[in-house]
Amino acid sequence: MQVKEVVIVAAVRTPIGSFGGALAAVSATDLGAVALKGALDKAGVAPEQVQQVIMGNVISANLGQAPARQAARKAGLPDTVECTTVNKVCASGSKAIMMGAQAIMLGMADVVLAGGMESMSNVPYYLDKARFGAKYGNGQMIDGLVRDGLWDPYHDYAMGNAADATAKHYGISREEQDAFARQSYERSAAAAQAGKKKDELVPVTVSVRGKDTVVSDDEEYTKVQYDKMLTLKPSFGKEGTVTAANASTLNDGAAAVLLMSREKADELGVKPLARIRGFADAEQAPEWFTTTPSLAIPKALKHAGVDASEVDFYEINEAFSVVSLVNNQ
């Protein structure tokens, strides 16, 4: 069997909203729908051409069954489209794209929408004793955002504790992490001011109490206060170096790419933006998620048949500033 070539013909995202901010009234599936429809509109492809939708979503509590299916229907895709939701924590959206590419490579599909969607602002609290009743004593509410999104169940601590341990192990200072975080915010602001985000952003209409507001820009970089960044206390222990400024932010948003086989793109007259040459997964002990990109990158390069010397640009998920810094080491 000949492996098909996979191309990306559209790549879009919603603005990224702050926790409890501009997009807090919009569900993850609604955000996903905006991204899916935006990708189709960008490429000028009819919904009927799509065969699969694969969307990453980590905290699905209170979204209802099959979040990817919901997003697809809200985006106007037909019910014949096969839909899959992927939960691989930070890598959910990337894994969704990999799975879409694999389906095309193997000839199981020619047109796939893939991406990710999350609304951390809308994650509910849980009443774990409510179903059959608390027999005696006080009850408690469990924060679903922490429990299912930000907590290491193996060591019973926040993922930020693992980031702190990484910084200590590799000798990465608080100052280095703060400087890297500031650079990221400054780059985001500069890109917005230069209009470099316009081609990828799809605006979101937010309806609250009968009033519509259109959100068309990222929120985080407009709120950062650099003068306070250096004075923040550590978030995960007195001796730690990870703070609210250099840690992973809590956000709402969605992104999607439209994948096609090269043959299908040629048939439809759609110009590819890029082709997917390779990809890879890597795993190690959960607390060392911070350094796992350094294992995945060589595997991805090998799969793609590319030498590291040929690479002009690396993009590593800045879940914490220390993650990018340690993998650059």
Q: Which two tokens stand for residue 242?
A: 């990870």
The predicted model scores a pTM of: 0.96
Rg (CA), the chain: 21
Beta bridge partners of 319: none
Cα 239 to Cα 244: distance, rounded to the nearest angstrom:
15
Domains and CATH numbers, the chain: 6-124+157-328 (3.40.47.10)
Give the torsion through C-alpha atoms of 72, 76, 80, 86, to 10 deg: -10
Strand, helix or coil at 34?
Answer: helix
Residue by residue, pLDDT tens for the chain (329 residues) are 789 999 999 999 999 999 999 999 999 999 999 999 999 999 999 999 999 999 999 999 999 999 999 999 999 999 999 999 999 999 999 999 999 999 999 999 999 999 999 999 999 999 998 889 888 888 899 999 999 999 999 999 999 999 999 999 999 999 999 999 999 999 999 999 999 999 999 999 999 999 999 999 999 999 999 999 999 999 999 999 999 999 999 999 999 999 999 999 999 999 999 999 999 999 999 999 999 999 999 999 999 999 999 999 999 988 899 999 999 98
Strand, helix or coil at 148?
Answer: helix
Is 63:27 a contact under the CB 8 Å cutoff?
Answer: yes
Nearest to 235 by CA among 328, 327, 316, 167: 167
Is 100:81 a contact under the CB 8 Å cutoff?
Answer: no
Nearest to 69 by CA among 93, 57, 53: 53
